[in-house]
Structure formats: structure tokens, C-alpha cells
Amino acid sequence: MICAEDLHKSFGPIKAVDGVSFVARDGEITALLGPNGAGKTTTLRMLYTLMHPDSGRVLVDGVDAQQQPLEAQRRLGVLPDARGLYRRLTARENIAYFAALHGLPDSEARARIEMLLQALSLRDIADRLAEGFSHGERLKTALARALIHDPPNVLLDEPTAGLDIMSTRSLRDFLRHLKQQGRCVLFSTHVMQEVSALCDRVVIIARGRVVAEGTPEALRARAHEHNLEEAFVKLIGTAALA
């Protein structure tokens, strides 16, 4: 479970995140929905300890991410916006590097790697250098690397950006699979279909603030719209006026 409590973050005069609070629960998929520049990536970066909030608090399974960053990192699997691989290492070596950094014993690491290669259908490219990977292959390798330590919480920044339809579908299936395993899955997106297809809860962010939060149905009802996209535009619009 991930709790964001009144997060603030400024870069110079720009308030990137201006009071964001929400909870992402275990066994649910939560979407952080918002237009470009709304503060989604900055919020996620504070959640996964890369950035320190100016004020506010992040709790990962009750662990304060500021006070005990290493403990919080162990409970997080992260697919950041930056998801570069080491081009001169194979997919397997890329994943094994992160396993070793997590301090997994060799036998356990090997078993986890095999399991993830299987689950993400990476077997065929496991021993190829990452140099010539397609976008989808890179993403899957980065995802396997992020999940190597079997984290109870999974954060993904725009996971489907740039993926073709088939890859997007299989990624969605994989996220549902993670949810069924009881994990807390939180991802950011600006794509509406993603939200209706996957999410249990939506947190809508605009201009660094949470403007609405709830199940997709509740948000539609609140905006008196049947279509989630219309609801989104309406909710963002009121935020812009306020």
C-alpha cells in the first residue's frame, strides 16, 4: 500500500506538485491520470524516493520513504519514465544486475529470472545483447528488472507509451496478473482507454493538485457523464477555473 500525504515539490518558482494526497491499495490497480505537465512524473519520483518532497510524506507499506529510503525501495518495483537498458549486456544480464543489487542469493535470482522471462515471454531474446531490442522488448526487460525482487508495490510511469496494440494488451494482462497476486499497482497515464480498461481507482491530477478521486464509475457519476473522457474534461475544466 502506498500513501501520499500532502506532497509539495517546487523547482524554482514552478510548483510542480502542490498538495497531492491519495492512497493506492493492495490488490487494486490505481491510475494517476492527468494531462502532460500535471505533475504525475514528479509525484511518482517522490513515491519511489528519487526526489525528496519539500513537504509532505510518503508511506510505502507504512515505511516512511524519506526516513528509510532503502527499506521503502525494497518494497517497490519501479518502471520509471527513464527505462534505459545496458546495451552491451544481454537481457538476462540486465535483469541479473538488479537482482544482485537487491542482494538476492544466486539460486533465488536464477529462479526469479526464469520465472519473469517466462511470464513476459522474453525467453527468445534472453541471451541477446540489449543493443538491438525493439521498444516492446526493452520495456519488457525493464519491467522484469523492476520486478526481480518480488515487490509488493509496483509503480509504472506511462507504461504503455509507444507500444503497439498487441504489446499494450499483453502488458494490461500482466498488470491484472500482478493485481491478482495481491500487489498494489500504481501507474500514471494520460490515456483514457487505459483507465477504463484496467483501473479500480483513478486519481486525477491537474496543475499539481488532485482534482478528483474514486472509481471510474463514481467519477462518471460525479461529472454527470457516461463517457469517462467527457467526465475527465469536465473535472479538469472545473479545476482550471478554480
Partner 1 sequence: MSMRALAAILVVFVKECRESLRDRRVLINSLLLGPLLGPALFVILLRLTISRELTQAERPLPVAVIGAASAPNLIAALEQGGVRVLPAVPDAAAAIRSQRLDLALRIPDSFARDFSAGRPAQVEVIYDSSRRDVIGSVQRLQALLEGYSRRTAAMRLTVRGLAPTLTTPVIVAERDQSTPAGRGALLFAMLPYFLILSALIGGMWLAIDSTAGERERASLEPLLINPVPREHILLGKVLATSAFSLASLSLGLVAFMVAGRLLPTDQLGMSFNLGARAAATILPLMAPLVLLIVTTEILVTAFSRSVREAQTYLGLLQLVPVIPSVVLSVLPLKPRLWMYAVPLLGQQLSVMQLLRGEAVPLAAALLCVAATLLLAQVAFSAARRSYRSERLAIAPLV
Q: How far is the CB of 85 from partner 1 (least distance, A)?
A: 6
Kindly state whether residue 102 participates in binding partner 1, applying the rule CB under 8 A: yes
Contacts of 204 (CB under 8 A, 6+ apart): 33, 34, 210, 211, 212, 213, 219, 232, 235, 236
What gap in Å lies between CA 42 and CA 33, rounded to an integer?
Answer: 13
What gap in Å lies between CA 137 and CA 139, rounded to an integer?
Answer: 5
CB nearer to partner 1: give 57 or 74.
74
Among 146, 156, 171, 184, binds partner 1 (CB under 8 A): 146
Among 6, 10, 55, 100, binds partner 1 (CB under 8 A): 100
Among 40, 83, 112, 179, binds partner 1 (CB under 8 A): 83
What gap in Å lies between CA 211 and CA 213, rounded to an integer?
Answer: 7
Among 4, 60, 85, 184, binds partner 1 (CB under 8 A): 85
CB nearer to partner 1: give 72 or 202.
72
- CA contacts within 13 A on the Cβ side of 107: 0
Listed in order, strand segments (DSSP E) in 140-183 are: 153-157
Give the per-residue contact string, 36-65, with partner 1 (x = CB under 8 A; - = no).
Answer: ---------x--xxxxx-------------
- Which residues within the stretch 156-185 sit at the binding site for partner 1 (CB under 8 A)? none
Q: What are 166-170's contacts with CB under 8 Å, separation 24+? A: 167/136, 167/139, 170/121
CB nearer to partner 1: give 64 or 200.
64
Among 22, 98, 133, 232, binds partner 1 (CB under 8 A): 98
Taking the mean position of all CA atoms in its chain, how far away is CA 196?
16
Kindly state whether residue 22 participates in binding partner 1, applying the rule CB under 8 A: no
Listed in order, strand segments (DSSP E) in the chain are: 2-11, 14-24, 29-33, 55-60, 63-64, 76-79, 153-157, 184-189, 201-206, 209-214
The region of 67-75, 158-166, 179-187, 221-229 touching partner 1 under the rule CB under 8 A is: 67-75
Site for partner 1, rule CB under 8 A: 45, 48-52, 69-71, 73-74, 76, 78, 80-89, 93, 97-98, 100-103, 142, 145-146
